[in-house]
Amino acid sequence: MRRRTWTTAVLLTLCAGLAPATTARAAAPHGPGPLPLERLFDNRAVSDDRAPEVADFDGAGNSLSAQDLTAAGWTAGRGIGVERARLTWPRSAGSGPDNVRAAGQRVRVTGRGDALAFLVAGTGGDARGSGVVRYADGTRSAYTLTAPDWRTGPLATKSVALAHRNTPDGQLTEKTRLYAVTVPVRTGRRIASVELPRATGGAALHVFALSVRAATTGWTGTWAASPAGYTTVGPWADRTVRLVVHTSVGGPRVRIRLDNTFASTPVRIGSASVAVQEAGASARGKPVPLTFGGGRGTQLPAGAQAFSDPVNFRVPADANLLVSFHLPEPVAAAPVHSQAIQNSYVSGPGDHAVEAAGSAYTSTISYWPLLTGVDVSGGPGSVVLLGDSITDGVKSTQGANRRWPNVLASRLLAQSDVPRYGVLNEGISANRVIADRYPGDGISTDTGGVSALHRLDRDVFAGTSARTVVVFQGVNDVRWGASAAQIEAGMREIVARAHARGLKVVGATVTPCEGESLCTAAAEVERVAVNSFVRGPGSGFDEVLDFDAVLRDPAHPSRMRADFDSGDHLHPGDAGLAALAGSVDLGVLAP
């Protein structure tokens, strides 16, 4: 059933600041023509620790540390990959003006894509304002941009956090932040220029970099995992990590995505490869080397990502791959997805990325560090499953790929009524809709991730060729005391933001959990209320999957059916996960 009641154009206006999609010609712009962003720089944010007085980012003499930025891998003129976009850290950073205080200036930006990417920060508070995108055909659209404050903004959504703040009186140990923010544009139309926002209120909105994010045409995501925390690892030095991942769809070419999310230091990748798994750490045939910008390896600055170059390699559907990468320099902490439900491998000393034999891989790990995506060429695009531990596959059989997203992917492959979408599992164990488990910065043992609201841009909107998102969360919110009203507000925000990006949004009801220690009678009241909201017309969801009805015991609706229960009363076992996937009308996944 179709549940959308607001038009896409209205949602674009309300939620993303975009004007309704019309063909009306814009009025002739006034003032000077657009200029490259660097020619508009009028503020200096970065200072050498030995001469902090040369910069005044916030009007009070405070600034970012050039040494901290270098330690993070953010060197002058460096390209930084963030959320599928590429932004260039100013070449003048540390030597002159390096940002512009947005006040309606016109910037020369050209290209076609699905979003504009800004590298920003606010001073004097969170800064917000509206700007205009002008297209080559004479039309334009409005957008709204928010730049969180460089000292107090959320660590959960920052691109990089630095350890210090430089002041006229010396350096203070205090976190400072920079943010990458994307706003949607009209896909397919050539952008001619961008008018920067005019910030309202007393805060200043600083723009360091701006680019057009290209749409991911010709690629489908076959596997994904969300960074869920930043934990100690190894330590690894001159070791090769060989990760086992399971594909959904196949294709004739492949690329991988590596993310140094949440980090404060860069990571060097010496080499990388991909292969089909034979058994354990052994490959079926010689692994195919991967390159990055033509080179064998790459460096991932703190908070940045990198895609490998496309390579001819036929990826089979519904199969295990081995993705290997050599870490030539010490790595003591890394972003991880903790609940892999799969063993992967770490070698002894040396680069063993292109070895077919598994004999060099002498230890195992049960999490996925750094790797966040595998894409294949062609295909119809991807369905993103935004979830918690039930989507993550906790309590499913280790190494058997019986998570409900795996079963759903197999169902899609076995039919021809709807496109055979890639299925991207963005579930994180312990994750919540509205509250962060992991704070988003620093080394922590908590791998419950930042909230769905805080990871939505990175894990869903920046996903490869995302077409539809399924939102299956809320049980952890009610277990930890959130009210139904709070969860509903978070879900409404997810729906509005996703619709503004042109995605179809499918809601899933929260499954029963009575008998688990935190699933109290009070939590049950809130769960029932959330499910009434999800099923109702006011949620904004385009479609609804009633997973509560699938798993509940008909004689005791607040409990899970015994034959679906893994034994902890919260997580379904293999049979329950298969029942969830089997209940999905595949037609609801099609946009």
- The C-alpha atoms of residue 401 and residue 403 are separated, in whole angstroms, by 6
Do 407 and 346 share a domain, yes or no?
A: no
Do 158 and 284 share a domain, yes or no?
A: no
What is the secondary structure of 210-278 as a DSSP string?
EEEEPP-TTEEEEEE----EEEEEEEESSEEEEEEEE-SS-EEEEEEEEE-TT-SS-EEE-EEEEEEEE
Do 526 and 445 share a domain, yes or no?
A: yes
The share of the chain scoring above pLDDT 70, in percent, equals 95
Do 582 and 484 share a domain, yes or no?
A: yes
Do 461 and 514 share a domain, yes or no?
A: yes
Do 440 and 560 share a domain, yes or no?
A: yes
Do 242 and 166 share a domain, yes or no?
A: no
Do 22 and 48 share a domain, yes or no?
A: yes
Distance (Å) of CA 328 to CA 349, 461, 587 = 9, 32, 47
Do 431 and 546 share a domain, yes or no?
A: yes
pLDDT tens string 310-335: 999 999 999 999 999 999 999 999 99
State which of 316, 339, 369 marks the end of a domain: 369
Least Cα distance to 361 among 263, 281, 255, 481 occurs for: 281
pLDDT tens string 1-59: 334 333 333 333 333 333 333 333 333 344 578 999 999 999 999 999 999 999 999 99
pTM of the model: 0.94
Is the residue at 119 inside a domain?
yes
| CATH classification at residue 492 | 3.40.50.1110
Three-state SS for 347?
Answer: strand
pLDDT tens string 97-145: 999 999 999 999 999 999 999 999 999 999 999 999 999 999 999 999 9
Mean pLDDT of the chain: 94
In the chain, the number of structural domains is 3
pLDDT at 21: 34
Domain coverage including residue 476 = 380-591
Do 346 and 385 share a domain, yes or no?
A: no
Do 263 and 170 share a domain, yes or no?
A: no
Is the residue at 222 inside a domain?
no
Mean per-residue pLDDT for 169-181?
97
pLDDT at 23: 31
pLDDT tens string 430-481: 999 999 999 999 999 999 999 999 999 999 999 999 999 999 999 999 999 9
Q: Which residues, at least 6 apart from 453, have a Cβ–Cβ distance to it below 8 Å? A: 433, 434, 490, 493, 494
State which of 311, 342, 369 marks the end of a domain: 369
Is the residue at 375 inside a domain?
no
Q: Do 516 and 510 contact (CB within 8 A), yes or no?
A: no
Is the residue at 559 inside a domain?
yes
- Residue 317: CB atoms within 10 A of its CB come to 17
Mean per-residue pLDDT for 251-256?
98
State which of 342, 369, 396 marks the end of a domain: 369
